[in-house]
Amino acid sequence: MTQVLATTVVVASLYALLAAGYVLVYRATRVLNLAQGDMMTLGGYFLFLVATAAPGEPARAIAGAAALSALAGFLIYRLLMRPMAGHPIFAAVLVTVTLGILLRAAIVLVYTDRIRHPLGLLGLANPARPLIGGAVVSTFDLFTVGAAAALFAALFLFLRFSPLGIQMRAAGEKPLLASQRGINFHLVFALSWALAGFAGALAGILYANNVRLDPSLGVLGLKAFAVALVGGLDSLGGVVPGALIVALVEVLSVRYGDPLLADVSPFLCLLAMLLVRPWGLYGTKEELERV
């Protein structure tokens, strides 16, 4: 029982990191970034890249990989998404789909589709940790939970109190008015993509160390969009309960059902949510009309 709870929290943390990326980009640009999963993979491979260049320096490697991913997010906005301004939203969403395809192709081209384990390169270990109550998790499981908690706290403070955060919310609501108030909304949007890249990279880095790294990790991203929708696409706060619900259902269906069911369970949650409350747990109802 405690094991179920512990696993749920860990899985939820990973999903929450990814879903934060969806929500950030959506809040700012109204685009659902279906490449978020592949941006996570990219983060993992950046870690691999930095780790091969300078083995045995975990702190620098992780910081470098996260920074590279944020930069990648920024560039993706600048090169791919910004030209889509003025096109229908759905076309922009499809561009993110092609972005995912391109990222995956690039990764396979450079690193082949072999499974990698950057953990060894970094000179780290991932010992199991027993918790009170008899549950066992790995060290990086704990890091995942910690990273998710820290990211959400930081994002909350940033969006709530910092001028830049307020500008990000403002530009997300009415980009034209924002530019009329001196806000360079393209810059703000690029920043939100950079933040999403950073959040995705955190997930990718932790997952790569904790489990493995291969080019098809991106499917996790599809599960995480179910999380974002269950919580409400425009609500960062909704991500947390959304992630917990989806993770719990998934963990339970692994335990009592079969792996096939577990794979599809996030989508079942999503469909159920779309039927009862399409705007999600904490999303705003008006959002449905905007898209």
Give contact residues for another protein (rule: CB under 8 A). Answer: 32, 80, 83-84, 86-87, 89-91, 93-95, 97-102, 104-106, 108-109, 112, 163, 166-167, 169-170, 173-174, 176-185, 222, 225-226, 229, 260-261, 263-264, 267-268, 270-271, 274-275, 278, 284, 288-289, 291
Nearer CB in complex with another protein: 95/206: 95
What are the backbone angles phi and psi of residue 129, rounded to the nearest 5°?
Answer: -125, 120
Length reported for the chain: 291
Nearer CB in complex with another protein: 90/156: 90
Closest distance to another protein from the beta carbon of 45 (Å):
14
Nearer CB in complex with another protein: 102/135: 102
Nearer CB in complex with another protein: 41/144: 41
Closest distance to another protein from the beta carbon of 80 (Å):
7
Closest distance to another protein from the beta carbon of 275 (Å):
5
Distance CA 221, CA 225 (A): 6
What residue spans of 30-88 are helical by DSSP H?
36-53, 58-76
Distance CA 242, CA 199 (A): 17
Distance CA 273, CA 291 (A): 18
181: its two tokens: 């108030």
Single-letter amino acid, residue 124: L
CA atoms within 13 A of residue 32's CA, in its CB half-sphere? 18
